[in-house]
């Protein structure tokens, strides 16, 4: 040590030496220095049309599954660069389709799973058809039937799916995305379905949310409430609407549009995943 070295210089040299020694010791025990960003692990996106992106366009070569480049799952994968991405959600899927055609994409190294499922099992498409073509009374009756199914039969079907996810991807974070309210009640729509029909349809969304969140919670999964994610942006909302009303192609009706996936589901998923 040179006599003219200042005390500050000595301290600085000792600090650098200590840092090098600590880094070397950590390397020996397998602890790497922190990287500026760590790539996400494997991501698997399961579910029905609300997961595949039906209504958001840009379906590529996915055929009837209508997997959109604008779907929340694809947006998350684009932003986070997972080590692998399996986008197997398919329009029209029910719980048995997930079991037969989708869960095989799950592996023990899967880090993130998202799923939206249950609406088709409860007959949501038939509900919307009946409510568009029938009377207030028939719409309310059809919604009551769907709600009874959701309460009594859907829980067991969800358990079958969730158990498979838990078994095949035991280390994954699982996010279950629920369905939004379709309508803002007392909103700005002057034509279309009656307020009675809109309220009945929204009440079915409430029952689905209650059932799905309860079963997801039983498996320790994260439930993302679509009603909250889309609040203020339903059909008849005065602001930007994130859901299609009755539209062409007819299959896009009552599904999230591009903004619904980007600003609704994806934004909410980003906060929890």
Token pair 């960003």 in the structure block, residue = 37
Residue tagged active-site, from 181, 244, 255, 261: 255
Token pair 């922190």 in the structure block, residue = 34
Active site residue 141: no
Residue tagged active-site, from 49, 68, 86, 204: 49
Active site residue 255: yes
The catalytic residues are 49, 255
């Amino acid at each position: 040590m040179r006599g003219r070295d200042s005390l500050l210089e000595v301290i600085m040299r000792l600090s650098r030496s200590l840092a090098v020694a600590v880094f070397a010791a950590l390397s020996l025990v397998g602890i790497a220095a922190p990287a500026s960003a760590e790539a996400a692990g494997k991501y698997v996106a399961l579910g029905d049309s609300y997961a595949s992106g039906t209504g958001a366009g840009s379906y590529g070569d996915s055929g009837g599954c209508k997997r959109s480049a604008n779907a929340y799952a694809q947006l998350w994968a684009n932003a986070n660069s997972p080590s692998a991405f399996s986008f197997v959600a398919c329009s029209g899927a029910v719980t048995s389709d997930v079991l037969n055609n989708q869960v095989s994409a799950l592996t023990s190294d899967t880090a993130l799973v998202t799923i939206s499922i249950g609406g088709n099992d409860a007959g949501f498409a038939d509900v919307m058809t009946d409510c568009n073509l029938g009377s207030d009374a028939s719409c309310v009756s059809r919604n009551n039937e769907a709600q009874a199914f959701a309460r009594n039969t859907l829980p067991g079907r969800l358990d079958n799916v969730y158990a498979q996810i838990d078994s095949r991807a035991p280390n994954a974070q699982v996010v279950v995305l629920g369905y939004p309210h379709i309508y803002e009640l007392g909103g700005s729509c002057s034509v279309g379905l009656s307020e009675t029909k809109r309220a009945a349809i929204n009440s079915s969304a409430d029952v689905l949310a209650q059932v799905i969140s309860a079963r997801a919670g039983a498996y320790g999964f994260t439930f993302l409430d679509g009603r909250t994610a889309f609040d203020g942006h339903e059909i008849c909302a005065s602001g930007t609407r994130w859901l299609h009303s009755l539209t062409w192609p007819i299959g896009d009706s009552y599904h999230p549009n591009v903004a619904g996936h980007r600003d609704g589901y994806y934004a909410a998923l980003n906060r929890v995943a």
